[in-house]
Chain A
Amino acid sequence: MPKDSGIGASSKRREDVRFLTGAGNYTDDINVHGQAYVHFLRSDIAHGRIKSIDTSAAEAMPGVVKVFTGKDFEGVGGMPCGWEVTDKHGAPMQEPPHPILAQGKVRHVGDPIAAVVADSLEQARDAAEAIDLDIEVLPAVMNMKTAAQDGATLVHDDLKNNICYDWQLGETDDAKVDEVFANAAHVTTLDLVNNRLVANPMEPRVAVGEYKPGTGDYTLFTTSQNPHVIRLLMCAFVLGLPEHKVRVVAPDVGGGFGTKIFHYAEEAFCTFAAKACNRPVKWTSSRSEAFMSDAHGRDHVSKIELALDADNNFIGLRTNTYANLGAYLSTFSSSVPTWLHGTLMAGNYKTPVIQVNVKAMFTNTVPVDAYRGAGRPEATYQLERVVDKAARELGVDPIALRRQNFITQFPYDTPVALTYDTGDYNGTMDKLEVAADLAGFAARRAESEANGKLRGLGINCYIEACGIAPSNIVGMLGARAGLYDAATVRVNATGSISVMVGAHSHGQGHETAFPQVVADMIGIDESMVEIVHGDTSKIPFGMGTYGSRSLAVCGSAMVKATEKVIEKAKKIAAHLLEAAEADIELKDGQFSVAGTDKSVAWGDVTLTAYVPHNYPLEVEPGLEETAFYDPANFTYPAGAYACEVEVDPETGQVTVEAFNAADDFGNIVNPMIVDGQVHGGIGQGIGQALLENCAYDEKGQLLSASFMDYAMPRADDVPFYGVDHSSQTPCTHNPLGVKGCGEAGAIGSPPAVVNAVLDALNSGGKAVDHIDMPMSPSRVWAAMNS
């Protein structure tokens, strides 16, 4: 029986009322009295040496308040990187400066060179056109493999080469790995590209900086997934401000997908300029700016090798990846190809020997950082493509090959640093086989063929590591931040509850799901509980929302804080009921004495906490508790996906005919929201697999710089999804037993789509081993006619 409230109920998203009626309050809706507008003059050259910048004409233009260049930020900190990766020789990564405005060189198309603050945006743009630039064009560093060679043009002149780090995980003894491969009965090898993506949230980035000279207080309104992280980074590393004088507000945010995690130069600029100009300063990114200034995602070039024994057991895996970091280190960029990627290379399989090698490269492109899945899609794509190719080469059923190699005993220590606490990969695959009606595929293929189409079935398994933690371990791995979260449960006098959370909701539905948990624990109506998020002046220090962590980490903090509240409320109830605290039970919003009919309502206890006339003297008045929660381990959602495609053999056009997902997310608070998260993730994954392609030419010009050339998935590009999350092995180490569901769809779907297309082509008699994403009609046709 589905529940109609509390944990497990598909409560309708309360935030949708304002989102769907145009009543949201986004950063661009915020206008501060007297604000000026900034326009950034951005480089149209990928790589160049700045010879001179003459701003005198611009400064004399109407409405101009001030013109800034890199010189104005000498002595100010640069944009920081939050994760120090140590390379395989023990050396720290190369970490070049990342100034707010370019100093000395421009390093990608879109690199901000100057900023004009003016009374109006159009005046700022007019004045920016009057800035006289002399930039010596240098060769653009675009190809990662040539960039890694000795003597290559340097993106950063002060670094020894373009390699940020040369990193390794897993088996360090090359000879041992070589031996495994030498003794293998079969080796499958695959070269592949994980295509560069632009996140393109519906709301572009916006920042409004405000400074109050009377108090010396700053406020930054910004489109962020994690306002406390922005405040910490900006105060401690960039502008050198005390945190108590800085408030960061991330109000309604129209989608993040990772790209709004990072601390961006425009945020620091608006905060800095608000004081320098003594005016609030507002910046709203245009969509064109977003393409060349929002951190991009993915962009890995990999070679993967899988060794199997004579019984088709996986015995060894080796990968070599070039990971593009772009021109500068974005906030968490260094962690994505390493600890969020290499650690996932075991996947769902008990491969005993794994070696992961990653060279992270500087190039003259937009910085690359976390995008929905962040490293885990890249790992899954490599692994599941090579497993599928192995099945085809060996002539075995791709599901049987996977099942044979599944990890079945938990906890399981992988050769790449993780301990999976729980899972049931065969059980999840069983669910998929039923939900996707795999038994009926042959008939569907025959029907497609009768219509002149090729039909393919693609299978994919994934595991992800969510709620990255614990802080002491990630600190050893190079994280420069803790990865806990926090919640304050403030019970109001008449029993309603405000929960201040460190997580930030920008599409995830926290405003609905989080109250379901608290209301369920107390036994009151969900409408009595509301969360407060996105404002550092209101919420405890939390790390925000990314990596499918919010419910698993911040939700756990909320549970802990609620438990403290209930514990205290029981003391008050015991006093009111003249009973022992140990005998007090809380159910359906009533405190009762066990075994009696004596009870007192939640609202009477909360009122007593604030009007403590008849009150236990040893208990403090009030009812408000805070908890910080640092997880003991990652959570490990896992799943099995099936995609069916049709390919038009005349045009190469791929249509996704069916997509079924069977996920194990552990316990689930709101099944409808989980469905929606999976739907969105699959949509983005289908977008990567078939449509999205962030492409540069050899001179570093962005070819896909608008929606005219960057293909976002539309509603008619995707089918109705089948989503099954009835396979549930609860997380063993957090109080809710939840695992996180935000990224699964984007991780699990690209290989399923690609495997399906290749199955279709091979079924048509064309032996095609691989086609790089996006599998556009042109590429598919070319592969069929190669």
Chain B
Amino acid sequence: MYNFEFEKPSTVADAVSALGGEDAQALGGGQTLIPTLKQRLAAPSTLVSLGGIPDIQGVCIEDDGSVAIGGATIHATVASEAAGSYPALAALAGQIGDPAVRNRGTIGGSLANNDPAACYPAGALGSGATIITNTRQIAADDFFEGLFSTALEEGEIITTVNFPVPQAASYQKFLQPASRFALVGVYLARFADGVRVAVTGASEDGVFRWSEAEEALNKEFRQDALTGLSINPANMIADLHGSKAYRAHLVSVMTKRAIEACM
């Protein structure tokens, strides 16, 4: 690891200010950033920890019934505190990594990193969440821009993620056997005004919505709604753990299982 300065502000304003420095880098739970630093693959001048800002931590239910999660909230907190209000999302949080990861990693860090195999991007996109930053509100549909790429500007901090709660939802995660990230993960949420299906782990472009499946399910929400539908393997990820065709196949299987779970 290269040397860096370390700051741990207690307000969002101070964090934004600290991130204004040249090559300053926000630190969420550090579950990706710290290993990267240890391998000397990044050399920020200053690490600005977001872990000391009480305003962006915790889970609460808004007046409209949506679930608001502070950007610096760790996965373990979401797994336990959202279990009553949004069980599918809590279940997703409870399947991330291992207990050590779940007690350090944060929702804001995961969304800002947008790893193509991470779970939270599927949860946010599948739920149609709103990512609230220190400057604006970004719809999940506009937030994820590709591998490790988001709509966030330099120095912009995720303060809250607001999740509308669907009538039913399910996250079906097929584990990559080594990392236990999602080899393919499908988050399906059924709202009164429609169904959303978000897929992580599969695409070379990162998390995406499977619109054909959504259309089919919007016509009729039934177990065999996907019959005849398939994902084009062309832009699926191929690696040691699965071919393009296998990932495309898994998207269908995991979606079908999510439908069954929501019946």
Residues of chain A touching chain B, judged by Cβ–Cβ distance below 8 Å, are: 122, 125, 129, 288, 650-653, 690-691, 693, 695, 703-704, 707-712, 776-778, 781-782
**How distant is the Cα of A288 from the Cα of B38 in the complex, in angstroms?**
11
Q: Which residues of B contact A129 (CB under 8 A)?
A: 40
Asked if A708 contacts B179 (CB within 8 A), the reply is: yes
Interface residues of B in 164-190 (CB under 8 A from A): 174, 177-179, 183
Asked if B253 contacts A650 (CB within 8 A), the reply is: yes
Asked if B242 contacts A778 (CB within 8 A), the reply is: yes
Asked if B1 contacts A781 (CB within 8 A), the reply is: no
Residues of chain B touching chain A, judged by Cβ–Cβ distance below 8 Å, are: 1, 3, 39-40, 174, 177-179, 183, 239-243, 245-246, 249-250, 253
- Using A703-B240, A778-B246 as known contacts, say yes or no to A711 and B178 having CB atoms under 8 A apart: yes
Quick one: which of A288, A710, A778, A782 contacts B39, CB cutoff 8 A? A288
Quick one: which of A125, A710, A781 contacts B178, CB cutoff 8 A? A710
Would you list 10 pairs from A and B whose C-beta atoms are within 8 A, ordered by A residue?
A: A129-B40, A651-B250, A653-B174, A691-B178, A704-B240, A709-B178, A776-B177, A777-B242, A778-B243, A782-B243
Quick one: which of B240, B243, B253 contacts A651, CB cutoff 8 A? B253
**How distant is the Cα of A709 from the Cα of B241 in the complex, in angstroms?**
8
Q: Which residues of B contact A778 (CB under 8 A)?
A: 241-243, 246
- The chain A residue with its CB closest to the CB of B242 is A778
* Nearest CB on B from A749, distance (A): 17
- The chain A residue with its CB closest to the CB of B238 is A778
**How distant is the Cα of A671 from the Cα of B220 in the complex, in angstroms?**
61
Q: Which residues of B contact A777 (CB under 8 A)?
A: 174, 177, 183, 242, 246
Q: Which residues of B contact A650 (CB under 8 A)?
A: 253
Asked if A695 contacts B240 (CB within 8 A), the reply is: yes
* Nearest CB on A from B76, distance (A): 19
- Using A288-B39, A651-B253, A778-B246 as known contacts, say yes or no to A708 and B178 having CB atoms under 8 A apart: yes
Quick one: which of B1, B39, B183, B253 contacts A122, CB cutoff 8 A? B1
- Using A709-B178, A709-B179 as known contacts, say yes or no to A781 and B240 having CB atoms under 8 A apart: no
* Nearest CB on B from A449, distance (A): 19
Q: Which residues of A contact B250 (CB under 8 A)?
A: 651
- Using A651-B250, A781-B249, A782-B246 as known contacts, say yes or no to A707 and B179 having CB atoms under 8 A apart: yes
Q: Which residues of B contact A652 (CB under 8 A)?
A: 246
**How distant is the Cα of A782 from the Cα of B39 in the complex, in angstroms?**
35
Quick one: which of A122, A707, A709, A712 contacts B240, CB cutoff 8 A? A709
Closest 9 CB pairs of A and B: A711-B178, A711-B177, A778-B242, A708-B179, A778-B246, A650-B253, A709-B178, A691-B177, A695-B240
* Nearest CB on A from B98, distance (A): 9
Asked if B240 contacts A693 (CB within 8 A), the reply is: yes
Q: Which residues of A contact B177 (CB under 8 A)?
A: 690-691, 711, 776-777
* Nearest CB on A from B231, distance (A): 15
Asked if B241 contacts A776 (CB within 8 A), the reply is: yes
Q: Which residues of B contact A782 (CB under 8 A)?
A: 243, 245-246
Q: Which residues of B contact A690 (CB under 8 A)?
A: 177
* Nearest CB on B from A648, distance (A): 9
**How distant is the Cα of A288 from the Cα of B242 in the complex, in angstroms?**
23
* Nearest CB on B from A218, distance (A): 32
Q: Which residues of A contact B240 (CB under 8 A)?
A: 693, 695, 703-704, 709
**How distant is the Cα of A763 from the Cα of B216 in the complex, in angstroms?**
35
**How distant is the Cα of A690 from the Cα of B178 in the complex, in angstroms?**
11
Q: Known pairs A711-B177, A777-B242; list 5 more (Cβ under 8 Å).
A: A122-B3, A651-B174, A652-B246, A707-B178, A777-B246
Q: Which residues of A contact B245 (CB under 8 A)?
A: 782
Q: Which residues of A contact B239 (CB under 8 A)?
A: 709
**How distant is the Cα of A707 from the Cα of B250 in the complex, in angstroms?**
23
Q: Which residues of B contact A695 (CB under 8 A)?
A: 240
* Nearest CB on B from A501, distance (A): 38
- The chain B residue with its CB closest to the CB of A717 is B177
- The chain B residue with its CB closest to the CB of A651 is B253
Q: Which residues of A contact B40 (CB under 8 A)?
A: 125, 129
Q: Which residues of B contact A703 (CB under 8 A)?
A: 240
- The chain A residue with its CB closest to the CB of B38 is A286
**How distant is the Cα of A761 from the Cα of B139 in the complex, in angstroms?**
46
* Nearest CB on A from B37, distance (A): 12
* Nearest CB on B from A592, distance (A): 59
**How distant is the Cα of A262 from the Cα of B246 in the complex, in angstroms?**
40
Q: Which residues of B contact A704 (CB under 8 A)?
A: 178, 240
Q: Which residues of B contact A691 (CB under 8 A)?
A: 177-178
Give the interface centre of A125, A651, A704, A778 by most chain B CB atoms within 10 Å. A778
* Nearest CB on A from B84, distance (A): 27
* Nearest CB on B from A221, distance (A): 24
- The chain A residue with its CB closest to the CB of B246 is A778
**How distant is the Cα of A476 from the Cα of B75 in the complex, in angstroms?**
62
**How distant is the Cα of A695 from the Cα of B239 in the complex, in angstroms?**
11
* Nearest CB on B from A9, distance (A): 36
* Nearest CB on A from B233, distance (A): 13
* Nearest CB on A from B8, distance (A): 22
Q: Which residues of A contact B179 (CB under 8 A)?
A: 707-709
* Nearest CB on B from A577, distance (A): 64
Q: Which residues of A contact B241 (CB under 8 A)?
A: 709, 776, 778
**How distant is the Cα of A651 from the Cα of B250 in the complex, in angstroms?**
7
